[in-house]
């Protein structure tokens, strides 16, 4: 809970105690009346959806909006005319000070960590889009700072709140298919670019502050349709390819259900680096140490672009079952679970599992869960303590795509690739002059 909210609730509660002898157990009644004043960084694309979802909570007051594109900012401001508007999130967070309670970050991936860390350095709880960060080091740091300061946080993997993923998690943990030895996960999407680096450029649109959009990364010329909006996903310095984009949703359930931690090694099969985009198709293998839900060591393989979906011969999927275009497969000692992205799990052999228990679960609102937790009620399910570890594992696969076919051995304790020094240089960005943030 933010210190501001705590203080405001305390002040209200003290005043109430002074005027009418209210019982301590009734103090909780004040919490729903306190308003959570939110500040939003990036309000176009998914940022617009985040703004609507967060503000649909009756306890939220949208206090500040920030976007580097004035057209997008003006559109959001028309819906929230009482909110103050900014181009630069650093100015917003420092000028708004104690008049905001919490911050939502919905920018392209390369700005997640700088904006989220700036907010946390000011003691603000944060909702941050996925993947949590662009760099491995940033994922560790956000997690450490959130935990050290005890801030309420949530990463934007809303599918994890959905019934199918939560049901699959419980079923796996109940041991329905026994201990799991392999996971396959895939997405047909292609957030890669195999072409050469760009040599011709365009004028920056008048509405866009290109310097702020580039942020911590090295400055370069603008090119229409390559960066702002959405396409930045394909570019190494800004996005995290299909693995970071869709993988984070699809990895979440197996990672959570199997209580995985850090991989011991990772290896990507893809084309050689071009200096521009992420590869258009990748096969990424991981090995994780065993947990109570897995065999001694757990092998995990990710497929994207034209390499998805994978072949599942001999993995317990009956002939004739068509794999979905995105999803995962758990191979257990007693059977196989197919989990299409955001859909109900299927168990094989079907006959064996026709009476398998499917837990009844209450719906959960992923955004309201964060708002409620900021206001002192309950906890978030994808806080940075979890999201940081998940993102770190994913991003190691993204780093490995710069060294096709090489196995990177991971020393999680020392945040280091032990057998390839060049890979260590890719774990942490050197921020551009003027964009350094304490802690990153
Ligand atoms: N959870 C989901 O299902 C889901 C879906 C789509 C996107 N996303 C995530 O949302 C984020 C945004 O993706 P998108 O597709 O909306 O991208 P986008 O490029 O369409 O939108 C990004 C917005 O942020 C603004 N912006 C860029 N840099 C900024 C800065 N420094 N300060 C303030 N505003 C800035 C842009 O002007 C734009 O309005 C990404 O992290 C993406 O992975 C999540």
Tell which one of 93, 165, 229 to mutate to probe ligand 1, the residue whose CB is within 8 A of the most ligand atoms: 229
Decide: helix, strand or coil at residue 79. Answer: helix
Closest Cα partner for 223 from 239, 237, 204? 204
Query: Are 127 and 175 found together in one domain?
Result: no
Query: Are 334 and 399 found together in one domain?
Result: yes
Give me the pLDDT at residue 332, please.
98
342 in a structural domain: yes
At 100, list the tokens.
């905001």
Give me the pLDDT at residue 11, please.
32
290 in a structural domain: yes
Decide: helix, strand or coil at residue 31. Answer: helix
**Domain residues for 10?**
3-159+371-382
207 in a structural domain: no
First to last CA, the chain: 23
202 in a structural domain: no
How does DSSP assign 272-338, residue by residue? PP-SSBPPSSEEEEEEEE--TTEEEEEEEEEEEGGG-SPP-TTTTPPTTPPPPSEEEEEEESS-EEE
Query: Are 124 and 179 found together in one domain?
Result: no
Give me the pLDDT at residue 174, please.
97
> Atom 36, ligand 1: which residue's CA is nearest?
42
Query: Are 318 and 240 found together in one domain?
Result: yes
In angstroms, what is the span from residue 44 Cα to ligand 1's centroid?
Answer: 7
Tell which one of 114, 117, 129 to mutate to probe ligand 1, the residue whose CB is within 8 A of the most ligand atoms: 129
In angstroms, what is the span from residue 274 Cα to ligand 1's centroid?
Answer: 25
188 neighbors 326 (Cβ within 8 angstroms): yes
Of all atoms in ligand 1, which is nearest to the CA of residue 215?
31
Give me the pLDDT at residue 21, please.
32
Of all atoms in ligand 1, which is nearest to the CA of residue 233?
43
Other CB atoms within a 10 A radius of the CB of residue 339 amount to 27
204 in a structural domain: no
Tell which one of 48, 77, 108 to mutate to probe ligand 1, the residue whose CB is within 8 A of the most ligand atoms: 108
Q: Please list every protein residue whose CB sits less than 6 Å from any atom of ligand 1.
A: 41-47, 66-69, 72, 89, 106-109, 111, 129-130, 156, 158, 212-213, 215, 228-230, 245
Query: Are 294 and 410 found together in one domain?
Result: yes
Name 118's Cβ contacts closer than 8 Å, sequence gap at least 6: 89, 90, 93, 437
In angstroms, what is the span from residue 71 Cα to ligand 1's centroid?
Answer: 15
Give me the pLDDT at residue 29, please.
35
Give me the pLDDT at residue 34, please.
80
Phi, psi of 67 (to 5 degrees): -155, 145
Phi, psi of 213 (to 5 degrees): -65, -45
pLDDT tens string for the chain (440 positions)? 343 334 343 333 333 333 333 333 333 333 557 899 999 999 999 999 999 999 999 999 999 999 999 999 999 999 999 999 999 999 999 999 999 999 999 999 999 999 999 999 999 999 999 999 999 999 999 999 999 999 999 999 999 999 999 999 999 999 999 999 999 999 999 999 999 999 999 999 999 999 999 999 999 999 999 999 999 999 999 999 999 999 999 999 999 999 999 999 999 999 999 989 999 999 999 999 999 999 999 999 999 999 999 999 889 999 999 999 999 999 999 999 999 999 999 999 999 999 999 999 999 999 999 999 999 999 999 999 999 999 999 999 999 999 999 999 999 999 999 999 999 999 999 999 999 999 99
CATH number at residue 354: 3.30.360.10
436 neighbors 217 (Cβ within 8 angstroms): no
Query: Are 109 and 120 found together in one domain?
Result: yes
Give me the pLDDT at residue 257, please.
98
- CA separation, residue 254 to residues 162, 204, 264, 355, 398 (Å): 14, 42, 17, 23, 19
At 54, list the tokens.
């967060």
CATH number at residue 76: 3.40.50.720
In angstroms, what is the span from residue 18 Cα to ligand 1's centroid?
Answer: 47
Query: Are 242 and 117 found together in one domain?
Result: no
Buried b (16+ CB within 10 A) or exposed e, 57-68: bebbebbbbbbb
In angstroms, what is the span from residue 46 Cα to ligand 1's centroid?
Answer: 6
Query: Are 331 and 418 found together in one domain?
Result: yes
- CA separation, residue 44 to residues 67, 74, 159, 400 (Å): 8, 10, 21, 31
Please give the tally of structural domains in the chain: 2
At 405, list the tokens.
């076919």
Name 263's Cβ contacts closer than 8 Å, sequence gap at least 6: 286, 287, 288, 300, 393, 396, 410
348 in a structural domain: yes
Of all atoms in ligand 1, which is nearest to the CA of residue 88?
32
How does DSSP assign 168-181, residue by residue? HHHHHHTTTT-SEE
Give me the pLDDT at residue 31, please.
54
Query: Are 252 and 106 found together in one domain?
Result: no
Query: Are 56 and 38 found together in one domain?
Result: yes
Rounded Cα–Cα distance for residues 429 and 255 (Å): 26
Other CB atoms within a 10 A radius of the CB of residue 121 amount to 16
Query: Are 264 and 342 found together in one domain?
Result: yes
Give me the pLDDT at residue 68, please.
98
Length of the chain: 440
Sheet with 153-155: list strands edge to edge. 84-86, 60-66, 36-41, 102-105, 126-128, 153-155
137 in a structural domain: yes
Of all atoms in ligand 1, which is nearest to the CA of residue 228?
19
Decide: helix, strand or coil at residue 232. Answer: helix
- Given CA atoms 38, 41, 44, 49 in this order, what sign does their dihedral have? negative
Rounded Cα–Cα distance for residues 179 and 258 (Å): 9
176 neighbors 413 (Cβ within 8 angstroms): no
Query: Are 414 and 401 found together in one domain?
Result: yes
In angstroms, what is the span from residue 233 Cα to ligand 1's centroid?
Answer: 10
329 in a structural domain: yes
Tell which one of 47, 71, 234 to mutate to probe ligand 1, the residue whose CB is within 8 A of the most ligand atoms: 47
> Atom 22, ligand 1: which residue's CA is nearest?
107
């Amino acid at each position: 809970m933010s210190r501001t909210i705590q203080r405001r609730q305390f002040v209200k509660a003290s005043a109430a105690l002074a005027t009418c002898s209210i019982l301590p157990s009734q103090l909780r009644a004040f919490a729903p009346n306190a308003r959570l004043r939110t500040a939003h960084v990036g309000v176009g694309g998914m940022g617009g959806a985040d703004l609507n979802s967060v503000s649909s909570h009756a306890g939220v007051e949208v206090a500040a909006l920030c976007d580097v594109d004035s057209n997008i900012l003006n559109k959001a401001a028309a819906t929230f005319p009482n909110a103050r508007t900014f181009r630069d999130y650093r100015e917003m967070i420092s000028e708004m000070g104690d008049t905001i309670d919490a911050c939502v970050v919905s920018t392209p991936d390369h700005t997640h960590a700088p904006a989220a860390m700036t907010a946390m350095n000011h003691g603000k709880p944060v909702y941050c889009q996925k993947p949590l960060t662009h760099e491995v080091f940033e994922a560790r740091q956000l997690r450490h700072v959130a935990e050290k300061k005890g801030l309420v946080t949530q990463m934007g993997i809303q599918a994890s709140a959905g019934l199918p993923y939560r049901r699959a998690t419980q079923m796996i943990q109940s041991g329905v298919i026994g201990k799991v030895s392999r996971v396959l996960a895939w997405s047909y999407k292609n957030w890669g670019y195999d072409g050469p680096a760009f040599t011709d450029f365009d004028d920056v649109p008048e509405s866009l502050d290109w310097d702020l959009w580039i942020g911590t990364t090295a400055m370069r010329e603008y090119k229409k349709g390559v960066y702002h909006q959405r396409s930045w996903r394909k570019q190494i310095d800004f996005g995290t390819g299909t693995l970071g984009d869709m993988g984070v949703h699809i990895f979440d359930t197996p990672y959570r259900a199997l209580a995985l931690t850090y991989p011991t090694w990772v290896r990507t099969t893809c084309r050689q680096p071009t200096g521009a985009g992420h590869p258009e198709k990748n096969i990424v293998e991981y090995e994780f140490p065993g947990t109570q839900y897995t065999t001694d060591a757990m092998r995990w393989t990710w497929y994207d672009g034209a390499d998805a979906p994978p072949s599942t011969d001999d993995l317990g999927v009956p002939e004739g079952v068509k794999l979905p275009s995105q999803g995962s497969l758990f191979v257990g000692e007693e059977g196989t679970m197919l989990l299409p992205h955001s859909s109900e799990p299927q168990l094989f052999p079907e006959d064996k599992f026709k009476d398998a228990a499917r837990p009844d679960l209450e719906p959960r609102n992923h955004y309201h869960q964060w708002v409620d937790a900021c206001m002192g009620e309950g906890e978030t399910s994808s806080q940075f303590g979890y999201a940081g570890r998940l993102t770190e594992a994913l991003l190691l696969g993204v780093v490995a795509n710069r060294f096709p076919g090489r196995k990177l051995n991971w020393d999680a304790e020392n945040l280091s690739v032990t057998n390839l020094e060049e890979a260590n240089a890719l774990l942490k960005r050197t921020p551009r002059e003027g964009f350094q943030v304490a802690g990153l």
